Amino acid sequence: MLVPKHDLSSLSKLSDGDLIHEIRTFAGRIRGHAAFQDVGKHVPVAETFDSLAELLGQKSNAAKHGDKLMAEERDNTREEIFMKVTFACQHSVMFATYHKDPSLMDVGYDLSHRVYTTKPATASVPGQPTKVELKPGPKGSGIYYVLVNKVAGMGSLEVQFTENPNDESSWKSAERAYKCKVEMKGDLVKRYYIRARYHNSAGYGPWSSVVDIVLS
């Protein structure tokens, strides 16, 4: 059975800041859309996405300061956004189908068709990064780059840093990335230890080996 489906694959690749902008834009698109007027609480509406965008901004800012709990809550908020956008798009398809008006499926994302099967695909946790390189930026800037190899089903990338790798509580997370090159900044004449792991809808993959760099 062929069913129209909006292509939302680009959302998971957005940084926190870009996702916030995209969700606010999406809220603006559906605010006056016929499918989202006078609906039940089970249907996400513009105000739902306004609130989620604000929440993600708060969690993302807190996570940048090394708060591990906030980093987890930020990830959960991102997942909730993906889920709610999916629900909203599905609702627009059902509404348009019921009213026999395909134009009502237009919520800003491309449409494709999917085939329903009896065995849904299942995701598995991503593998371990096998190559983590650190490259210094401009001299005296404190900037350095973390480069990580790609693996199948990698999803997003989490990079953590510390000055004491033996103290598990000292590890701090940088902003979650959706590319394999991450820009970091630290204090000069300090040694930083770095590790990385991938995260997708199935969960977190294992940490990479720890690498280190001295900034100059």
Residue by residue, pLDDT tens for the chain (216 residues) are 467 888 898 898 888 889 999 999 999 999 999 999 999 999 999 999 999 999 999 998 888 877 778 888 999 999 999 999 999 999 999 999 999 998 999 999 888 765 545 444 556 888 899 999 999 999 999 999 999 998 877 888 889 999 999 988 888 988 677 778 888 999 999 999 999 999 887 788 899 999 999 987
Angstrom CA distances, 20 to 17, 26, 51, 83, stand at 5, 10, 10, 15
**What whole-number distance in Å separates Cα of residue 142 and Cα of residue 211?**
17
Angstrom CA distances, 183 to 39, 119, 122, 163, stand at 44, 41, 32, 18
Return the pLDDT at 110. 87
The pTM of this model reads: 0.56
144: exposed, middle or buried (C-beta count within 10 Å: 0-12, 13-18, 19+)?
Answer: buried
Pairing of strands 111-115, 181-185: unpaired
Return the pLDDT at 136. 92
Q: Is CATH 2.60.40.10 correct for 132-214? A: yes
Sketch the domain layout of the chain as residue ranges: 2-115, 132-214
Return the pLDDT at 113. 64
Strands (E), the chain: 2-6, 111-115, 132-136, 143-148, 156-162, 172-173, 181-185, 191-200, 203-204, 211-214
Return the pLDDT at 176. 75
